[in-house]
Structure 1
């Protein structure tokens, strides 16, 4: 295994020869793996290969312990160069080459078409270009918060510099002092569509300099230049050593194989067998090997174990609950802010690394993170109007042994960053997304800000739990609960002040004796004529409807479903016994909770009379009360709908 000493002036002749020999072995693997799989990205793998070999030779990584906490991180943002990455990881002893060649791109294999953490040595699942730098920022900041001296190397393609999220990440890296972050850009000037200057003209160097990064230009195939550039950065010999550095490496697509060089066709296309054999010959290997491996692959059983990559644990102390009296009228977001501040007081202790981090996007006061910021200013990250980056960097931080809260409005926390959350899900993050301003409850801000589709979107993220509290007291219980809960969790709430949900004796329903249980609903009221099912902002509207029905002598139950996922199956099966069910929600009715309940009853073969009340599409500006009335979500119409259902 090649180990390069960064304290040396330059690479020796022996080291240069060792790297050149390693290049040929890795190029062989790239050609074999992609041709055997019949697909893949050999061109970019070859253009990045020289840099990969030097980085892994310098970085503090241990093939025998690839998840050591004090390791350097190597993030591959242009994840399609997986053949090159896996080849180099083979070269450095992370795993043998045979399972890689036999299993690359096969169903059930760890060796996916784009890099994944199931492979030892891979730090982040990438492939959706532009997100790797954000993840690298999260890792670099985590290292600094822990007081470690490790570095983060992030390899990127030149085409992905076109993504807006990349510029967001660059600005964030400078603001938060990530001098331990080094980016290497494979500047081969080609992308799928051809010449990058024709696909989308861009002055990459000038853009990077404009964000106050250091820039070093090199020949990306000259091992000595790569080594010296990295040495310069690591020794802080750059113009602004307090800022991150980008190494702009001029490279050649398909480097090392004459007929592949500078041909964009090989960006995302494997060589056919005849050309693969020709390439192997150029590299000095027996072309017959391809035929042998092809036969072997036919009968090979997928067997390479997937590397676990769960988030690092964090031990959190939970404060006592805050109970808001029945007379209190406040918003759930204020209760969230108070709970978050109390968590910070208990866990982010002076003189120690913080355990809890908070991020928002220019909405500190609206999402009520001011108290947290006051208590833990070094743990609060105001990230500007940069939701795409913030969603990704929050996810990366959440894997590093921190409890991370990302808060913004619903339209920004869900609709705008769905793909970033999807990548977080694939990367098994442990992010707590607490979103305010959900639904038509946003009111006067109008339809662009009324997030009425959040459940339909979140249901597509299989590991995200979904909790929607009914009032400030339940908000406090849920926030304290999720502080010790692993995995990705979404907590959502409206904008308006809401009444405290009470028992029939007018004391708070979610009092100090209440315990929030995922997968369990709350029977706020009991009656035998039917059930009103609701959640969130609509709970107090539904409770008013219950009062109207009670005054008419019609006794129904009121079921609050704060735990939307995990789904409260037992409580819903109990509800089905009452036959008459009205679901009430501040959500687009086609993709909300009601639709999920209808599907659940159908699959369980439960016959009920079911009416779904919700939003039928985008609304106008207006007060929430007016908008709910227009949508049939006012207490009078809820009561009328239940009465008609009972009498039908």
Structure 2
């Protein structure tokens, strides 16, 4: 083989076709994805797979639940909003200063992470890179090593774990990185367990002795996403912003107005009271928040005065609200992240460290998910009914 016997670099390209034998799909990159029924049927029919054809014919599309209590019917995709807001901000900068201060590095997922808005509107700071998340994160961190510079990075939350070494080195070197990890949690996750983005808390891996400015943000709707980005874009250190694959409804306050309306200002590290309560508290964030709000509204209608906290800064303790919720009869953390290593295990430890001992429980992703979109949340017990049941179980005297 020439690659072994001759000096110098060599590249080996495997030109193997995808989806061989499937007419209309063979040789196309779309062969890596699910096969449409229209293409599958002729393939199955030609091979006599009548049982499979009958099964496909009997499948009906389910409609995702809508009209959640406490939320409007208006939806927004935070993974798209991330790119739109950054493009809005970057367009206002002087072009020369923008190129000196900002570099946006894509990992072949610009259309999924919202970075395509930056590519289209401010291409002078956009770098179209490939599927090499570790190298791309390091490049963003390297650019952000200088004071006043920001390296921007984007990929799926499922790939966060592979960047942990680079995250550690970037933190130790004081790099400025705004990292967008979309497709967090399990909601609407068509790619099943392998694409679950549930180990996001791993990003907060600094030591207590460090002056660690790492922050993990998980906004609850599109308006809070905008407020978060406008507030933290110029902050030093590493900021991880998480979003879901799914769209989220706009959250409403107790009066039916937008919770994150024109007068809303995001403050890093400060938790937000969505509903006041005296009987106990639910703590949530991201795509689980509006489902928790639905559950809380149902419980309040039944006479249980349950409150709801939006903990959009995941890795910082809000001491005032911690004392408030910790002094109540019970606390339930409901999240789409891993039940093993998500917010719930941290929150329980934070309560105990402060001598606060309410009845406590946490629910999160704990099951494999084979198939489904929005059904993934119901499967994990994170739909409104599942959260409601968890609250009632926790509130029931032993």
Tell me the TM-score normalised to structure 2 length.
0.79
In 2: Cα distance, 1:647 partner to 1:502 partner: 29
> How far apart are residue 581 of structure 1 and its match?
1.0
1:188 maps to: none
CA distance 1:559–1:350, shift in 2 (3 Å)? same
Which of 204, 212, 223 aligns to 1:473? It is 223
Equivalent residues of 2:327, 2:357 under 8 A apart: no
In structure 2, distance between residues paired with 1:528 and 1:565 = 25
Counting only pairs closer than 5 Å after superposition, residues 199-238 of structure 1 correspond to structure 2 as: 206-207=8-9
Q: In the aligned structure 2, how far is the partner of 1:561 from the partner of 1:340?
A: 23
Deviations 1:422-446 (A, max 9, x none): 1111211111111100111252111
Q: In the TM superposition, what is the alpha-carbon distance from 1:417 to its structure 2 partner?
A: 1.3
Distance 1:334 1:352, change over 3 A: closer
2:189 aligned with 1:443, yes or no? Answer: yes
Note the C-alpha offset of 1:643: 2.1
In structure 2, distance between residues paired with 1:508 and 1:451: 28
* Residue of structure 1 equivalent to 2:79: 333
Residues paired across the two proteins, number = 331
2:379 is equivalent to residue 630 of structure 1:
yes
2:294 matched to 1:544?
Answer: yes
Contact 2:101 2:149 in 1 (8 A): yes
Assess, with a 3 A threshold, how the Cα gap between structure 1 residues 639 and 372 changes in structure 2: closer, same or farther.
Answer: same
1:410 — aligned with what?
A: 157
Pairing 1:271-420 to 2, within 5 Å after superposition = 326-349=72-95, 353-400=99-146, 401-412=148-159, 414-420=160-166
Cα distance, 1:205 vs structure 2:
5.2
- Per the TM alignment, residue 461 of structure 1 is displaced from its structure 2 partner at its CA by 3.3
Q: TM-score, normalised by structure 1?
A: 0.49
**What is the CA-CA distance between 1:327 and the residue it aligns to?**
4.4
How far is 1:634 from its partner? 1.3
The one of 161, 180, 205 equivalent to 1:460 is 205
Q: 3-state DSSP class of the match of 2:194?
A: coil
> What SS class does the counterpart of residue 417 from structure 1 fall into?
helix
**Counterpart of 2:358?**
608
Partner of 2:63: none
Do the aligned partners of 1:561 and 1:568 also contact (CA within 8 Å) in 2?
no
Decide which of 262, 272, 283 is 1:533's aligned counterpart. Answer: 283
Give the whole-Å Cα distance in 2 for the aligned partners of 1:409 and 1:505.
Answer: 36
Superposed, which structure 2 residues align to 1:86-105 within 5 Å? none
Q: For structure 1, list consecutive stretches of 5 or more residues without a partner in the other structure.
A: 1-200, 212-324
CA distance in 1, matches of 2:4, 2:237: 39
Residue 247 (structure 2) pairs with residue 494 (structure 1): no
Structure 1 segment 8-47 matched on structure 2, within 5 A = none
Q: What is the alpha-carbon distance in structure 2 between the residues aligned to residue 496 and residue 469 of structure 1?
A: 13
- Runs of 4+ aligned structure 1 residues displaced above 4 Å come to 201-205
In 2: Cα distance, 1:476 partner to 1:461 partner:
27
Q: What displacement does 1:635 show?
A: 0.6
Does structure 2 conserve the Cα–Cα contact (< 8 Å) formed by 1:588 and 1:617? Answer: no
Larger radius of gyration: 1
Please tell me the root mean square deviation across aligned C-alpha atoms, in Å.
2.1
Segments of 5+ residues of structure 2 without an aligned counterpart are 13-70
Closer/same/farther in 2, CA of residues 383 and 576 from structure 1, 3 Å limit: same
> Against the structure 1 CA distance between its residues 202 and 486, is the aligned structure 2 distance closer, same or farther, given a 3 Å change threshold?
farther
Return the alpha-carbon distance in structure 2 between the equivalents of residues 205 and 434 of structure 1.
41
The answer (yes or no) to whether the contact 2:218–2:312 under 8 Å persists in 1 is yes
Change (3 A) 1:326 1:544: closer
Q: SS of 1:591's equivalent?
A: coil
Q: Secondary structure at the match of 1:642?
A: helix
Give the alignment of 1:64-103 within 5 angstroms: none
